[in-house]
Structure 1
Amino acid sequence: MKTQDLIRLGVPQGAALKSGMEFIVNFIGQGGEPARLEEELGAIIATPEAFLGDPLREVFARDLYAPAYKQRDELAPWRQWGSGLEAEAVKQMASACALPVSVAGALMPDAHVGYGLPIGGVLATEGCVIPYAVGVDIACRMRLTVYDRKASFIAGQKDRLANIIEDETRFGMGCEFKNRREHDVMDEDWNVSPITRRHKDKAWAQLGTSGSGNHFVEFGAFDVNAEQSAALKESGFDVPQGEYIALLSHSGSRGAGAQVCQHYSRIAMDRRYDLPKDLKHLAWLTFEEEAGQEYWAAMNLMGRYAAANHALIHKHIAKKVGAHVILDIENHHNFAWKETHVVNGAEREVIVHRKGATPAGAGVLGVIPGSMATPGFVVRGKGNAESLHSASHGAGRVMSRSKAAQSFTWSAVKKQLAAAGVELLSAGIDEVPGVYKDIHGVMAAQTDLVEVLGKFEPRIVKMCPAGEKAED
C-alpha cells in the first residue's frame, strides 16, 4: 500500500500521512494480515479517538484526531512520552492544544485523566492562565531531605522514627496543629486576592500539615553511587557515595489553595461560557483581566505557602532526628510559570502549566516519587525543548479510587509491604502500590528528559487514614 492509497482512504497530507505509512510497516512487522490492512486503516480513520490509547495505532490516530471544539487551523504542536496511555487522557491533551490561547504542549509518561488538562499534561499558553491546568491542589510539591547518617540507622530506630512522624505531621481534610506553627509566609500580603484574605486564618491553622489523598511523609534509604555523587557535586551538593537516611514529603497548599482554584475557575468558566461542556475546565483568564492578575498573585502566594508547609515538616523532624542535612531538594508539580521558549522558530514568553509534571530545565534538580513500596528518584533535567522542560511527577495512577477499593485487600497488601521492607503507619486502600504504574517503566520512557542522580527507597510511610476525601 502506498501514500496514494492512504489519500484515497481519506488521510490528509502532512503528519497523518507519514504516521499512516509507519503504521502499515509496524502492522505488517508485528504479524498483521495484509488482507485486513485496509479494514484496519478504515476503522482508525473513521474514529481515531477510539484508538488513542492503543500502542500500535495511537500515533496514527493522534495525527488524525480533530477535537469537536477547534479555534485553530491546526492543533498547537505537542508530543507524547510513553505508550499505551489512557485514550481519554490523550484526547484531553489534544483538546487542550485546540484552544486559541495554546501555543505548545507535552504529555508525560505517567499521564492519566484529569479535569480539563490530563494529569501529566504540560501546556504553554500566551497572555493567560488556566486555573484548572494548574490544578485544585495548587503547588502540590515534593521535598527530599538527606541526613548525614547511614540508612542502617533506620532498622534499629524504627519505633522512634515512626513516633517522630506521628508527632510532627497531621493528615486529613481539616487537620491542624493544636499549637499553631510559625513561618514568615504568614507575614506576607494575603490581601492579593479576596480569597486569600478570607482564608488566611484557615491557612495559618493548617500550616505544616499534609492533608489527604496521595500526600505522604516517609523515612527511607537514599542511595547514591560514585557517578551520581560526582553529578550532585556539580550541582552544589557534597553527598559521598553511600546509602543514607532521608525524609520525603508530598503535599500542597491545603484548603486555601483549593478555594483559590475553585473561585477563579468559576470566574473563568463564566467568562468563557462558549466553551463546550467537556472543555469547560480549560477556561482561561487573561492578564488584562483583574481576575487573571488576582489569580496569578494568589497562585504564587499559595506556592510559597505550600513550600512553607514542607519546610516546617522537615525542620521539626530534622530537629528530633538529631542529624545534619547534607541534601535538600524540592519542586512544585502543580503550578504555572512564566518562561521563555522557542515556539514556531521564535523565542516567546509563555505561561507553562505543569499539571502533575516536574520542571526539568537543563541542570534543574527535582524529585519523582514511585509508590509506598517502590523507589523515588532525584533527577536532573536535560532541558528538552519538546517537553517544555518537563518530566513526569511520579508513577501515575492506573485505576480510580473506587476501583482500587474493589481490587485490593489489606491482607495481600501487607504481605507486599513486608516483602519490600516497608512499615505503613496509615493509608487508604486506594493508595496501595497496585494503583500505580511501574515507576521503572515511566523512568525508562523519559531518559531524554532527565538523568537519575539518586534513588529513594521508602521504609516508614505515613499517609491519610482511610475515609477522607482525596485532596490531591
Structure 2
Amino acid sequence: MHTTLHKPAPTRMIATGEATAILPTETTPPIKVIGTEAIRDTFDDVCLQQAINSRLAPGVTDVVLNPDAHLGYGAPVGCVMVSPTHIYPGPVGVDIKCSMSLLQLDVPADVIEDRQTRRALISAICQRTPTGAGKGQRSVKKSRPVNRTLGKQLVVEGASESVCQQLGIPVDWADRCEDSFHLGHDETRDALGNRLEVLLAQRHMSNFSDKMSQLGSYGGGNHFGECEVVHVGDDDRSRSVAETFGLRDGKVAFLSHCGSRGFGHNLASGQFKTLQHKFSKWDIPLPAGDRQLVYAPLGTSEADDYLDDMALGANFATANHLLINALVLEAFQEVLPGTTGSLVYFISHNIARKEIMDNRPTWVHRKGATRAFPAGHYALRETPFADTGHPILLPGNPRDGSAVMVADAGAEQACFSVNHGAGRTLGRRHANRVLDQATIDKEFEQHDILSNCRFYPKDEAPAAYKDFEEVLRSVKTAGLASEVARLKARFVIKDASKADD
C-alpha cells in the first residue's frame, strides 16, 4: 500500500453515541464513523489516515467509516465516499462489483445432517464452480462453457433475458438483483459496445477469451460459497420481512461471495495505469500524494472511460454470480433430486452508483460497503421490497454465521450504506504467521462444518476477522439496520489463494 502518514493520524475519535462517532479533519466537515468503542479500537492509524485523505480529496462531500473498516487501496475497505463531481477508481478497487448473493433452497436442514450427503454436495458443486485465482470453467468436469461471442454480449448486457437463457439462468432472477445490468457513461449499451471494441485492441485485453472462461467461478482469497441453514428471527417484523425476502426458516440456503474475476482486475489495473500516467504527465497533485487516489472529473473523457470500464466489469460480475447460483442449484438437484431454489438477492459492495442524495445526483462509492435502502426509499418503487427495504447480505464467518438484515430509517446518516461483513483484524501474512492450523481445523470439526479444503486457509480463519457480534451490534445500535435472519454454515467452498479484492 502506498498510503503514508504525513503527520500522525488522529488516535481519538469523538463519540456521538453508543455506536457512532466523528473523525475530525482540519478543513472539512467530519467523517462519520459507525462502530461501538470496541470496534473503533480496531481502526489503526493508517486506516484513519486513508479516511482523512479520502475526505480531503477533490469533490468529495461525505466519507463514512463502517465497523468493518481496515486498510484498503487509497481509501479504506469498509468506507463510503460520495462525490457529485468526481469519480474515484480506488474506492471501487480492483475487484469491480465484488458482491454477495443468496440462494434459498426448499431442502430441510435435517436432510444435510448426514456428512456423506454434504460431502456429495461439495463434490457436485466443485465439479461445476472452480475455485482458485486462475481457474475457470475449463478446469471442471461439468462446466457451462462461455465462448468469446457470449462473453462480449454479457459484459455489455449484464443479466439480460438473452444472456440468462443462454447460460441456463432463470430469467426472473434478474428481478432479485440490486442491479441486473449496467449502462455506459451516457446511459446506453452502445457506449459499452464501443468501449469494449477499443479495449479488445489493447494489449492488456489480449486474454479476453480466457477471462470469459472464468464465468461461473469463485476465485481465491476471501471469496467463497457456503451452505447455510436459515434461522429467521422470532419477532413479528422479522417473520414478515423474511416472507417478503423469500427466506424459509429451517431450510437450507447457499451464500456466495465473489466478483468480476480476472476481467474486472484487468479493467481496473488498466484504469489505474492510465490515470496515474495522466497525473504524472501533467504534474497534477495527488490527494495526500497517494497514487491510489487518482480521480477523473465527471464529464471528461477519462471519467467516461472509467465509468464504461466499471460497467463492463460489473456486468461480468452480475452474470458470474447468477451463473454460480444456477450451477449450485444444479448440483443440489444432482445429489437431492427434486430440489427447487429461488434467488433471495444479489447485492454489491465494490461499486460506484449514481444516486440522489440531498436532492441532487451524486456518485456514491462503496468500497467494502453495502447499499441499505429502507422501506419507502424512492429507488425501491415497483420492486418487491418497496414496503420493507431490500435484503442486506452480511457475511460473518463460518463459526459465528452470517446475517440477513434490512435497513432502518437511520441508514440515511451513513449515506444509505452499511458494512459488507466483519472486516479483517489480522493481515494475511500476520494471520499465517500467528494462527495455529490444528486449532482452526479442530474448531471447524467441533462445529461440524465441512470444507472442500484439506486444511482451511489460516488467513481466512474466523480469528483473522473482527468480532461479528460486535460488528452487528454496532449496526443495530446506530439505527442503520435490523437483523432478519442468521445463517449457520454447514459446509464451505473455499480456496487458499491470494484474495481477489
Partner SS, residue 9 of structure 2: helix
Is contact 1:196–1:256 with CA below 8 Å preserved after alignment? no
1:212 alignment partner, one of 217, 220, 239:
220
Q: 1:286 to 1:61 in 2, by over 3 A?
A: closer
Partner SS, residue 124 of structure 1: strand
Partner of 1:49: 9
Partner of 1:291: 302
Partner of 1:449: 480
**Following the alignment from structure 2 to structure 1, what is the Cα–Cα distance between the partners of residues 483 and 145?**
35
Q: 1:181 to 1:54 in 2, by over 3 A?
A: farther
**Following the alignment from structure 1 to structure 2, what is the Cα–Cα distance between the partners of residues 351 and 277?**
21
What's the offset of the Cα at 1:266? 2.2
Q: 1:78 to 1:152 in 2, by over 3 A?
A: same
Partner of 1:146: 104
Q: Does 1:168 align with 2:184?
A: no
Partner of 1:373: 399
Where in structure 2 are the equivalents of 1:177-216 lying within 5 Å? 177-178=137-138, 181-182=145-146, 186-188=152-154, 189=156, 191-193=194-196, 194-195=198-199, 198=205, 199-216=207-224
Give CA-to-partner distance per residue, 1:126-165, whole Å, 9 cap, x none: 2221111101111100011111121111112212112122
320-329 vs 250-259, which moves further = 320-329
**Following the alignment from structure 2 to structure 1, what is the Cα–Cα distance between the partners of residues 408 and 20?**
24
The amino acid that maps onto 1:402 is R
1:400 alignment partner, one of 392, 403, 427:
427
The amino acid that maps onto 2:312 is L
Partner SS, residue 398 of structure 1: coil
Partner of 1:350: 362
Where in structure 2 are the equivalents of 1:11-90 lying within 5 Å? 49=9, 51-52=11-12, 62-63=23-24, 65-66=25-26, 74-82=27-35, 83-84=40-41, 85-90=43-48
What's the offset of the Cα at 1:232? 2.5
Partner SS, residue 223 of structure 1: strand
Partner SS, residue 429 of structure 2: helix
Partner SS, residue 113 of structure 2: helix
**Following the alignment from structure 1 to structure 2, what is the Cα–Cα distance between the partners of residues 364 and 278?**
39
2:242 alignment partner, one of 232, 235, 249:
232
**Following the alignment from structure 1 to structure 2, what is the Cα–Cα distance between the partners of residues 270 and 438?**
41
What's the offset of the Cα at 1:195? 3.5
What's the offset of the Cα at 1:276? 5.5
Give CA-to-partner distance per residue, 1:248-307, whole Å, 9 cap, x none: 110110111111111112222233431156422111112322221121122112112111
Partner SS, residue 131 of structure 1: coil
1:310 alignment partner, one of 315, 321, 342:
321
What's the offset of the Cα at 1:400? 0.8
**Following the alignment from structure 1 to structure 2, what is the Cα–Cα distance between the partners of residues 61 and 143?**
32
**Following the alignment from structure 1 to structure 2, what is the Cα–Cα distance between the partners of residues 52 and 117?**
19
Q: 1:318 to 1:268 in 2, by over 3 A?
A: same
Partner SS, residue 136 of structure 1: coil
Partner of 1:391: 418
Aligned residues: 408
**Following the alignment from structure 2 to structure 1, what is the Cα–Cα distance between the partners of residues 494 and 98?**
15
Query: Could you list the runs of 5+ residues in structure 1 that have no partner in the other structure?
Result: 1-46, 67-73
**Following the alignment from structure 1 to structure 2, what is the Cα–Cα distance between the partners of residues 435 and 442?**
14
Give the alignment's TM-score, normalised by structure 2. Answer: 0.76
Q: 1:59 to 1:309 in 2, by over 3 A?
A: closer
**Following the alignment from structure 1 to structure 2, what is the Cα–Cα distance between the partners of residues 96 and 304?**
27
The amino acid that maps onto 2:341 is V
Q: Does 1:335 align with 2:366?
A: no
Where in structure 2 are the equivalents of 1:127-146 lying within 5 Å? 127-146=85-104
Q: 1:80 to 1:59 in 2, by over 3 A?
A: closer
Is contact 1:49–1:62 with CA below 8 Å preserved after alignment? no
Q: Does 1:359 align with 2:371?
A: yes
Is contact 2:245–2:391 with CA below 8 Å preserved after alignment? no
Q: 1:279 to 1:75 in 2, by over 3 A?
A: farther
Partner SS, residue 340 of structure 1: strand
Give the alignment's TM-score, normalised by structure 1. Answer: 0.81
Partner of 2:379: none
The amino acid that maps onto 1:350 is T
Q: What's the % identity of the aligned pairs?
A: 26
Q: 1:182 to 1:382 in 2, by over 3 A?
A: farther
What's the offset of the Cα at 1:444? 0.5
Q: 1:285 to 1:257 in 2, by over 3 A?
A: same
Quick check: which has more Rg, 1 or 2?
Answer: 1
Query: Could you list the runs of 5+ residues in structure 2 that have no partner in the other structure?
Result: 1-6, 157-192, 334-338, 375-388
